[in-house]
Structure 1
């Protein structure tokens, strides 16, 4: 049982009030409508789509149009755009708004994945400050009354921090909130998130909410981040992998309630089964595709629980809902919550590494002709990353 108590800070994203100051971080291949719906069933907050490449959206590629779909139960439709070009970013925003497809647009300037940063996108882009500013300004202008937020990292590495300048530029461009993953691109997901940097950002940005992201593995972590940094809300990513009930824990904690989910093994199996069912629906009834997608979630769901290696391996090869049901029937449904063994970090942290960047990227804060050519190739036609 959690010992933390708190009163939830009031958080609104532009005109959108949140009942609790909690946001699901966009995660490629994870935060599709199936996972968002599952998390919503357990808790409250704002649930953001996985990253959508703006060029793919402008070109109306079938995959991008599928990824922006929301279920009718998703009453606040939140979409994250990835863009490296002001014109394309604006066109994508105008499409979403004109077709009535989004209530909130988030912009990705935090992705540390090499295939993104080596083309000058994601966490690399704010280094080119004026180019960053133009992208945000164009998106905000195109979005009109729909609130636009940005999510970023501290910078490229410890010697090339960008978050304060970029945040001030975004604030001036009219964004409705700024979220900081308190690591650099070089950190990837390693080490500890620098919550003090979130506090520094909160002291710097005074007109819009500042949200903190990084190392939220429990509701107590969220409360500590708010207390330490003074941020207006939290963004949770890897901490909810295989643990959608974390959103119930977070909602309770921010409401000052002393409760925490401690699911039995049977309840975990039921959540996995529900997730798989929603994935099949998301993939338009394609049961094999939905079951293939749930495979990557198996280890996260059963972290710390007494599920043997042989059964785990079979679960990670499930091919149909009936196949999944048969294997889940082998679980000891009454096995209790294993406590600390099920807590803590989820997903791969990796190790610090030199970020992949375009040639001579760090030599200038301006977008040179050479770097412009690199950036022009950064928006892949496929979404994700």
Structure 2
């Protein structure tokens, strides 16, 4: 693995000082306590929870209340909220602050998933400029001394870009930082991220940090993004799937102390086993934890000489003992396979027409039926 190096860089988000300008992106079903702990063991930065629905938090849904819990070793603690109603989001923020659930709150305006955008949420919401500004304004006020940040996409599609307006509005409302996934909702995760847009946002938003997200598969990519865009930090999502030690590489690249990694198959197997153990502890159930680790098998062992029988076994294992037996069959000395293990991970797909509420693009204001639809979206997203 070739690692770039850069001058020592730190990042300040409100009162939070980070040794390196690196943030773990929220990923549904991935960035739970177990994965966050594992990433922290390798590197440094800010590690954000899975996306939490504000309505579910206000209703104190059991699953949601478990998802917002942090391990005692996690600091700073970070939670990402999703919602479409300013009052509900503000109330969720007040609960987080009053009950000391987090040291940092992020608002999701970047999700491109149809079940979110068809109700006006995620990457669709910044199109409604007044609603977006009101959500951020009320959330910032409710957060008080807790820094609140915004994560967003370029817009809905190439003809309906929102990131510059949204970035300025978030800055004006008092957000502590903004992060841009440099794709539109219509691009989903396809093609290549438009890093030029990150540079544009950095020029437009000047008083708070601007973070870049998209196509960071290695420490070299992170260093290059910051050099090319002048952004203040990077947000890493799919690049760390099956590779939590990427945060160690990133820490080293930005001048922090970090252990060098020799990613032999034995090293990867140990990381996988550690992840499984942490999931069992987090979920408080061995069967559940071993089922949850299954989705990570292909990511961890991408490019490595792991036979189909072992891969299939790991993807169906029901106990840690079974996982141990399977990992024991591997050639622990097999070296890092280079290019075969690198590049894109996770979902990609093709560009697609975003699912949007009826007549959503006709106006950038919220009125009448649209307002009713948004209130209904909060109710339908109740539960986690």
**TM-score, structure 1 normalization:** 0.97
Contact 2:215-2:239 at 8 Å conserved across structures: yes
Q: Distance in 1 between matches of 2:165 and 2:8?
A: 29
Partner of 2:355: 356
Q: Distance in 2 between matches of 1:382 and 1:232?
A: 35
Partner of 1:95: 95
Partner of 1:85: 85
Contact 2:89-2:139 at 8 Å conserved across structures: yes
Q: Offset of 1:262 from its aligned partner?
A: 3.2
Q: Offset of 1:9 from its aligned partner?
A: 2.9
Partner of 2:265: 265
* Secondary structure in structure 2 of the residue aligned to 1:51: strand
**Residue 88 to residue 121, structure 1, CA distance change in 2 (3 Å):** same
Partner of 2:183: 183
Partner of 2:118: 118
Q: Which sections of structure 2, spanning at least 5 residues, go unmatched?
A: none
* Secondary structure in structure 2 of the residue aligned to 1:377: helix
Q: Offset of 1:331 from its aligned partner?
A: 0.9
**Residue 258 to residue 269, structure 1, CA distance change in 2 (3 Å):** closer
Q: Distance in 1 between matches of 2:320 and 2:258?
A: 36
**Residue 3 to residue 81, structure 1, CA distance change in 2 (3 Å):** closer
Q: Distance in 2 between matches of 1:243 and 1:18?
A: 21
Q: Offset of 1:314 from its aligned partner?
A: 1.3
Moved more, 325-334 or 294-303: 325-334
Moved more, 341-350 or 235-244: 341-350
Q: Offset of 1:237 from its aligned partner?
A: 0.2
**Residue 171 to residue 299, structure 1, CA distance change in 2 (3 Å):** same
Q: Does 1:168 align with 2:176?
A: no
* Secondary structure in structure 2 of the residue aligned to 1:365: coil
Partner of 1:381: 382
Partner of 2:225: 225
* Secondary structure in structure 1 of the residue aligned to 2:234: strand
Moved more, 174-183 or 302-311: 302-311
Partner of 1:292: 291
Q: Offset of 1:11 from its aligned partner?
A: 1.1
Q: Does 1:323 align with 2:322?
A: yes
Partner of 1:238: 238
Q: Offset of 1:28 from its aligned partner?
A: 0.5
Q: Distance in 2 between matches of 1:322 and 1:110?
A: 40
Contact 2:3-2:249 at 8 Å conserved across structures: no
RMSD: 1.3
Moved more, 184-193 or 304-313: 304-313
Q: Distance in 1 between matches of 2:25 and 2:8?
A: 19
Number of positions where the alignment pairs a residue of Structure 1 with one of Structure 2: 382
Query: Which aligned pairs between 1:270-285 and structure 2 lie closer than 5 A?
Result: 270-283=270-283, 285=284
* Secondary structure in structure 1 of the residue aligned to 2:377: coil
Contact 2:21-2:45 at 8 Å conserved across structures: yes
